[in-house]
Structure 1
Amino acid sequence: MKKIGIVTIHSDLNYGAALQAYALNQYLRNKGYTSEIINYIKIPNHPREYPFPVNIAYKLMNLPRFRRYRSFLKSSVSQRAYHSVEDMMTDFSDDYDIVMSGSDQVWNPTCGGLIDKLNPVYYLAFADKDKYKKIAYASSLGSYRFADDEKPRIKQWLGEYSHLSTRELSGGEYLGELLGIEVKVVLDPTLLLNKNGWMEVARPVGISDKYILVYYIDEIAECVAYARKIADKTGWKVAMMTNTAKRFPGVDINIPFCGPAQFLWLFANAQYVVTNSFHGTAFSVNFNKDFISVIKRNSPQRAQTLLKNVGLSDRLLTDISQVESLSDIIDWQQANAKLEALRKDSTDYLINAIEN
């Protein structure tokens, strides 16, 4: 079986990043490949900066969360760590048949750790094209569009790939036009594993009450307001994962400093989910949870596309007044059938890219 090294964003303390990295690698291992995440540790994009001694207190409070993230991915990453672009570009000679740029916004310079500069690592420029086969699975540039002076390098780097795919239709169309080839659009890696696969690595959180889980990216108050609407009808508690011990107004159960394994358990055991995150939406669909996806106005495309593809567009709400008319019944049989078809299409692409 072929040996595969994956380059993706995995070292940030971000649930979506950690879970998509785990999922792609685990799917490949489940298919019998020798696979691991190449342990390139990039500079954080937007590190939190606090004055002394607040910075010390913040680091100490977040130590449990940091350890949970590292523990979650420990068995997935390579033993050798690369701490800089220079290390990757000059010292990389690891024994892989294939190197793969994985998902997340690896092709978006604002996420690459180099302060709005193209990071060659995420375009696999460190790997000799005559030694390694190069594949992209669901690699995303988000809403970024390359400047004229960046395009020659992009064409050179991506021109060395044997197979290209991205996770957004708009990104696939843009890259296809730029490169003059077809770029496949595939599922986010978190959807390659089903609920049973995810529950193998979930870890419990001590909550006995029935709860509505709030998982937000910005706009906390808006998501909590939606959840309170549901709570008022059902009597369930409103629970929220946070990076602080302080409880947000309107939240009944504060759950601080969770890692990815606790994230999975909380989704699996929630009565209802309110989220404005794509990955929150994806896990709600994958786990067949009653849910509301609150539109994220600056980047709604991924959630819109997923929900449209599985026939659940009505779960994406743009105004809190829509809660009153939202159906209490979700046709999971139809949604699951559509998701399974999308999953097969994506995995067929991935296996073909590796084998052909």
Structure 2
Amino acid sequence: MKKTGIITIHSDLNYGAALQAYALNQILRIKGYDSQIINYIKIPNHPRVYPFPKNIAYKLMNMPRLYRYRKFLKSSVTAKEWHSVDELMNGFNEPFDILISGSDQVWNPTCGGLIDKLNPVYYLAFANKNKYKKVAYASSLGSYKFNEEEKPYIKKWLGEYEHLSTRETTGSEHLKEILGTEVKVVLDPTLLLNEGEWMKAAAPVRIKDKYILVYYIDEISECVEYARKIADKTGWKVAMMTNTARRFPGVDINIPFCGPAQFLWLFTNARYVVTNSFHGTAFAVNFNKDFISVIKRNSPQRAQTLLNNVGLPERLLTDISQINRLGDHVDFTQANIKLEALRKDSINYLINAIEN
């Protein structure tokens, strides 16, 4: 049995990061590989900094969420931890056959934990190319473009890979310009698992009411406004995951300090989903939930690409008046066929990259 090691962003308290890491590792295990996530604990990109004694209060409040994240990934990560770039770069000698740089924005320097510098860890630069086969699965740049100083490092590090793929067409085209080689576009790992496979990792949340789930990134009020429109029509409650015990105006049910397992349960049991997150959109599509994807104006490409690929572009709204043009329910018949074809193609790429 081949042993695969995944390097990805998994230690941040971010639902998308944790869920994509779990998904890639899990699909490899389902396909028969002995797979683990290399437990590199990077510096958070945007750590919250509070003065004393607020910093103590924040840490205490955040402990339940931290515990839930660590519990969710405990069986997926290596027991050994690495806490710095130097630890990995100096003498990595773990018993893996294949190393995979996983998804999320691992190739975006603004997300790598080194303050806008390239983090060589996420390009597998710590691994001897003569000992480890290197593969990229959906490794993303986000909207980042490498500058002239960075390009020689990109050519060197990615030149040691035997198979390259990324998550967005724009990233694929940018890398092709630098490397002179094709870079395949594949699905985000969260879409490689179906709802039944995801539910094995879910944990229940106590909610007795029918609810519309709000999952937001940054812009809260716009998502809540959309959800209230649906609530006024249906009589359902507006529920929202938050990192505070304080209830946001317009929200009926506040659900604080959830981990990824609770996130999954809330999605599968929601009557409706309103989100401006790519991963929120991805789970709504994957779980066949009636949903609205509110455009994230600073980075709409990922949600647009996904919805175009599965034939549901009308679910991405740029103005609240557009709600009136939507039907009461989403017809997922064709979307499921298209998603399954994309899933099969992406898994085939992954297995072929490992085996050939």
What's 2:211 paired with? 211
Distance 1:26 1:155 in 2: 30
Distance 1:297 1:330 in 2: 23
Q: For residue 126 of structure 2, give the secondary structure of its aligned residue in structure 1.
A: coil
Q: For residue 213 of structure 1, give the secondary structure of its aligned residue in structure 2.
A: strand
Distance 1:144 1:334 in 2: 33
Question: Which 4+ residue blocks in structure 1 deviate beyond 2 angstroms?
Answer: none
What's 2:86 paired with? 86
Deviation at 1:89, TM superposition (A): 0.1
- Give the residue type in structure 2 aligned to 1:258: C
What's 1:169 paired with? 169
Deviation at 1:177, TM superposition (A): 1.5
Q: 1:239-318 residue pairs with structure 2 within 5 A? A: 239-318=239-318
What's 2:144 paired with? 144
Deviation at 1:325, TM superposition (A): 1.4
Deviation at 1:26, TM superposition (A): 0.3
What's 1:100 paired with? 100
What's 1:122 paired with? 122
Distance 1:100 1:180 in 2: 21
Distance 1:180 1:325 in 2: 44
Q: Deviations over 1:76-99 (max 9, x none)?
A: 000110000000000310011001
- Give the residue type in structure 1 aligned to 2:65: R
What's 2:57 paired with? 57
- Give the residue type in structure 2 aligned to 1:160: E
Q: For residue 308 of structure 1, give the secondary structure of its aligned residue in structure 2.
A: helix
- Give the residue type in structure 1 aligned to 2:339: L
Q: For residue 95 of structure 1, give the secondary structure of its aligned residue in structure 2.
A: coil
What's 2:221 paired with? 221
- Give the residue type in structure 1 aligned to 2:342: L
Deviation at 1:329, TM superposition (A): 2.9
What's 2:322 paired with? 322
**Which structure 1 residue ranges, 5 or more long, are not aligned?**
none
Distance 1:254 1:324 in 2: 27
Distance 1:212 1:7 in 2: 35
Distance 1:11 1:221 in 2: 28
What's 1:70 paired with? 70
Identity, % of aligned pairs?
A: 79
- Give the residue type in structure 1 aligned to 2:35: S
Distance 1:106 1:73 in 2: 18
When the two chains are superposed, the root-mean-square deviation of aligned CA atoms in Å is 0.5
Distance 1:317 1:93 in 2: 49
What's 2:34 paired with? 34
Distance 1:37 1:240 in 2: 30
Distance 2:172 2:328 in 1: 35
Q: For residue 268 of structure 1, give the secondary structure of its aligned residue in structure 2.
A: helix
Distance 1:4 1:297 in 2: 37
What's 2:235 paired with? 235
- Give the residue type in structure 2 aligned to 1:196: G
- Give the residue type in structure 1 aligned to 2:45: N
What's 1:133 paired with? 133
Distance 2:284 2:232 in 1: 21
Distance 1:195 1:329 in 2: 19
Distance 1:307 1:111 in 2: 25
Q: For residue 4 of structure 1, give the secondary structure of its aligned residue in structure 2.
A: strand
Distance 1:322 1:145 in 2: 33
What's 1:332 paired with? 332
Distance 1:3 1:255 in 2: 38
Q: For residue 298 of structure 2, give the secondary structure of its aligned residue in structure 1.
A: coil
Q: Deviations over 1:278-307 (max 9, x none)?
A: 000000000000000000000000000000
Distance 2:113 2:130 in 1: 28
Q: Number of residues paired by the alignment?
A: 356
- Give the residue type in structure 1 aligned to 2:307: L
Q: For residue 91 of structure 1, give the secondary structure of its aligned residue in structure 2.
A: coil
Deviation at 1:147, TM superposition (A): 1.1
Deviation at 1:332, TM superposition (A): 1.1
Q: Deviations over 1:31-80 (max 9, x none)?
A: 00000000001000000000100110011001000000000000000011
- Give the residue type in structure 1 aligned to 2:233: K
- Give the residue type in structure 1 aligned to 2:83: H
Which 10-residue stretch deviates more, 330-339 or 272-281? 330-339
**Which structure 2 residue ranges, 5 or more long, are not aligned?**
none
What's 2:112 paired with? 112
Q: For residue 149 of structure 2, give the secondary structure of its aligned residue in structure 1.
A: coil
Distance 1:168 1:304 in 2: 11
Distance 1:91 1:159 in 2: 21
Q: For residue 90 of structure 2, give the secondary structure of its aligned residue in structure 1.
A: helix
Q: Deviations over 1:311-354 (max 9, x none)?
A: 00000000000011112232211110000000011011000000
Distance 1:88 1:334 in 2: 45
- Is 1:188 the counterpart of 2:188 in the alignment? yes
Distance 1:104 1:264 in 2: 18
Q: Deviations over 1:241-272 (max 9, x none)?
A: 00000000000000000000000000000000
Distance 1:277 1:214 in 2: 10
